[in-house]
Structures are given as structure tokens and as C-alpha cells.
Structure 1
């Protein structure tokens, strides 16, 4: 009989994760005996570094967040270890949220939700529109499938030329500026890295159509916030749906809150109720892969930053 994989669960004991460890053939142990560390919260990289000092035998570290930018910035991602993120785990609910924001913007739901009179009738359809998704990972793939019934023309921007199912075209990042002016909807779904930080700036926004809308479900700092505020105020674009912002949380009184063309949700594309069971499933799968000597799902490229 194969012995259980020794796993340390920290910094909090999440019952769903403890059950997932057992279901995946693991056993929760004290830090010095662990081969795998499951980090149970999306923050506190300094605490993670201190925990790793107590885990001299750890080989794999599993993080519950899809993006690892805060851990990378803190210098925690030791390249001698195998780092595993939750990328792809939350793709379906995040894609659902991106679609929700898109439809709400096109149908002027933000304006109507606050209205106190009949007002002006306006709204546009998503059917037959042109959509550009910046990012070619799990969110893009799930969103592409959700967009099929709308008959959109979908272009996906990604690092590699591999096609995305249901997309009509796949382009490299250096061609975004060339294509953004054709899009009715631009969805940002990339992780934060040196290459993506600030990529949606005043120049790119100026290239968008005045009737187009921007949706960001990736990372806030991919969009230059001050440039977006200026673009919305000037009517350069027709609206922005943001589940992520820079800074985050977005402070009270920030100009985006009062901007009539902005629809903001507080990083709720995947909530605690959604992400705990989804990450638990990833724990089960990856512990089985660890025991079998297989590559983990969600492997982090430390050099690339995601």
C-alpha cells in the first residue's frame, strides 16, 4: 500500500482542504515532516516565507490564488521548489462574471439600476459583435465557450500561437494595438507580470472605438487607472466593467466610483463560496499527481511570473 503524502496545511485549517488532502491520498502533518505545503489563504507572503523555513523537506507548494504576483513581488518564490498556483481553477466563474459585466455595460444596467425616472432608452446587443480577449488561459477558453450562442467574432491575444477553441483568430501581444480598434468589447484576462503591467494605457484606450467597452477580470494593474479615468471622462470609450482595480480595494471617493460609465464589483468574480470547493478539487488532483510522480496542474513559471 502506498504511504500517504505528508502535507502541511497552513496558515489556517480549512476543513474542506483537510478533507481534500485525505481524498487525494495525503495526510496532514507538522511542518518539519511535510513534502507538500498547501497554503490556505490568498495573501501574507511573509508568513508563507516563515512557514517554509519550518518545512525543510517540502518539494511542492500549492497556492490557492490563480495569480502569484504578490508572492513573486515579496521574493517568496524560491525557484528550487515546485510552485503550483490555482490558475485555471476559477476560470469558469470568472468567465461568467466577465460576460455579466459585458452584458450589463452594453445594456446600460448601471445607469438604470440607479435611475429614478423613465429616462432615455438605450442599449446594444452582444449578438454579432467583435470581441477581443487579452489573455489566452483558462478564463479566455471558458469565455469563448460562453460567447458561442451570441455569434461573436472572437479574437484572442496570447503568448503562444496555439488556437483557442471557438476563437476566429489568435494574435500575439505585440498586435493588440493593431486589433483593439476593431473590437466592440475588450476583455482583460491576463495575469500581472512585467510584460502585462500597464499594457492598457492611454494609447491603447485611444485606439478603441468610442462605442466599445472594456472589461477587466485579470489584475487591476494591467490597466493604468488614471488613464482609464481620463478616457471615461472624455468619452473615449463607452464604459468599463472592473472586477479588479489598481489600487485594490478601490478607496472611497476615488474618481472611478462617481464615473457614470464605470461598473465596479469588489473582486467577486470568484467568491469564497465558489473558490474553496474548486481549489479543494485541485488539491485532490495534484496530490494524486505528486504520488504518481507526475507534473502538477497549475505549474508556475517563476521566471515568467505566472
Structure 2
């Protein structure tokens, strides 16, 4: 749980306990899962001009001018860099994102990608029964060290999955506060130290100026010839030209990407031609289930709002996540 910034205290101070005063706009469309969450919390779905809360399930394009009385805006995505770039956020009200809301499914996808790489499912899919070439490169997660860069909600869901596979987890967080189940947790400034210890890397960090091209020529050189990089976060965390150079030079084992930069990649992107790369089309959190997955955490946050408790996944204004 992230406490609200001081500038947003109004939205988190003790509420009246009267859910009937909870007037929520669900825009730009009244999604039935989210409408049900609002009504299940005792609130009512109203037009934006009457609302205290806006639940926004669109992107920054078309984001409305906010009436004075809106105290809290709930965004439906975990990554909000596009909202930040468009200047949508302000410091007058509380903003929440969906950080952690979809973590379990994304963690499952990350594990699937890592296993597809280490077990050489990816390479096998590019060939026809190339046993002599594939067999020597199959590896296990048992005893391996896996670095999770940005071990927030996704990382915390991924750690027990990796542990069940026999892997040792090295966690990197902004603060360095211990992540339950991780063998080691370090602050972000020690990322390169962790990369040098890791067999494999999972990227789950937000896209910020500090994380842009976190994986580059220098950091790739810290990895091992068998290392796989999994990205379920944002494409710009990886310098893809540097990644291509490392892959073709055999500096690392492979890359499994659910996100790319740009997105979607060009049809002739050279990464598509490598049998050490798998790219899934940003489906770790499938759009078709987004609002269904969001409904439960939204209902919890609505309850907290009414009761004057700290909200989940409050955006730190000025940091962009």
C-alpha cells in the first residue's frame, strides 16, 4: 500500500461512512464490471459533472477536463507514462493507477516466457527436430538466480512461482526494502551489481527517465552467455539495438518480450529473425479481461475512500508512477 501524497489529503481524510454519497463517473464507457463494482460498494454511477470520483478506462487522448469537485481519479493501467507525457495528472487531487491489480496474470506470463527460453521451446519452434543443436542448450531454473528488476506487485507474485521452480530470486526495488521470499533485495542504484550475479533477468519496472534503456550495451555485457531477458514491463526499458547486437554476438542466451519499442514492432524488425527471441503481442495482461480484473481492487479502493483509509496504488505526483 502506498500512502497518498500530502497534496491529495482531501481524498483520503476520514469519510462520512455513507456510501450513498459516493458518486462515481465511469468513463469513457460505462463498463459493466466497473459499474457493478461501484454499485456493489454502495455507490452510484453518475455523469462526470456530478461525480466525486472518476474511473477512467481510456487513454490520455480524450481525457476530459475535470470538474472542481472530483477528488480522486482511478486510471485503469499500471503504466501511466503516456498520461504523464500529455500533462494529464495534477497535484490537486488523488490519482491512482492499476499497479498490482493485474500482477498475478502478468507474473504467470513472465514465468511462461522464461521457461520457454530456458527450456528451448522458443528455439525448437523455429526448427524441425533439431535435437543435436537444441539439446545441449536446454537449462533448468533449479539452482538458477533470477533477477527481478522492479519487484513491485508483479515481482511479489513472481517470487513464489520462481521459488517453486527451485530458483533463487534477486529483487531490485526503488527503496531496497526486503521483498518476501527473495534471497536478496537491493535498491535501484545497485541494479548492475545484481545483473552481474544473475542467470536470468525479468523486467517489471515502470517506464521513467531513470529506467529508460536500463538494458543497454554496458548492462548486457554483465550477463552470461546463457542468460535470458524477459520484459513484461515497458519496451523502452531495453535498448533494442543493443539487445540485437548482444544476441547476434552470443553474449546472452535469448530474449522473451511481451513489450517492444516501438510497439508494435515493424514487420521487418530484425529480432523476428532470431531463433533466440520470442515476442508476444503485449498480452501478459489481456485487454479483454482488464476491467474484469480491475473490478475487485476498485471495489476495495471505493470502500477505503468512503471510510477515509489510504487508497491502494496511489500515484506519486512528479515521479510518474
With a CA cutoff of 8 Å and minimum separation of 6, indicate the structure with the bigger relative contact order: 2
What secondary structure is seen at the aligned counterpart in 1 of 2:61? helix
Contact 1:13 1:40 in 2 (8 A): no
Alignment CA distance shift 1:22-1:232 (3 Å): same
- Separation in 1, partners of 2:55, 2:164: 39
| 8 Å contact kept, 2:231–2:257 | yes
Alignment partners' CA distance in 1, 2:226 and 2:61: 44
> Could you tell me how far apart the structure 2 residues matched to 1:212 and 1:107 are?
12
Partner of 1:259: 274
Scaled by the length of structure 1, the TM-score of the pair is 0.95
**Equivalent residue number for residue 52 of structure 1:** 65
- Corresponding residue for residue 232 of structure 1: 247
Give the count of matched residue pairs: 301
Q: 1:158: which partner in 2?
A: 173
Partner of 1:93: 105
SS in 1 for 2:169: strand
Q: Does 1:7 align with 2:24?
A: yes
1:80 has 2:92 as partner: yes
How far does residue 2 in structure 1 lie from its aligned partner after superposition? 4.4
Q: 2:39 aligns with which of 10, 19, 22?
A: 22
Shift of 1:276: 2.0
Provide the C-alpha distance between the structure 2 equivalents of 1:3 and 1:176, rounded to a whole number of angstroms: 48
Give per-residue Cα distances to partners, 1:30-83, cap 9 Å, x unaligned.
111111000023x2x1311xx134x33111000110111110011101111210
TM-score scaled by structure 2? Answer: 0.90
User: What are structure 1's unaligned runs of at least 5 residues?
Assistant: none
1:203 and 2:215 correspond: no
Query: Structure 1 residue 182: deviation in Å?
Result: 2.0
**Unmatched tracts of structure 2, length 5 or more:** 1-17
1:19 & 1:220 partners in 2: Cα distance? 34
Measured in 1, the distance between the counterparts of 2:19 and 2:301 equals 16
Helix, strand or coil for the counterpart of 2:131?
coil
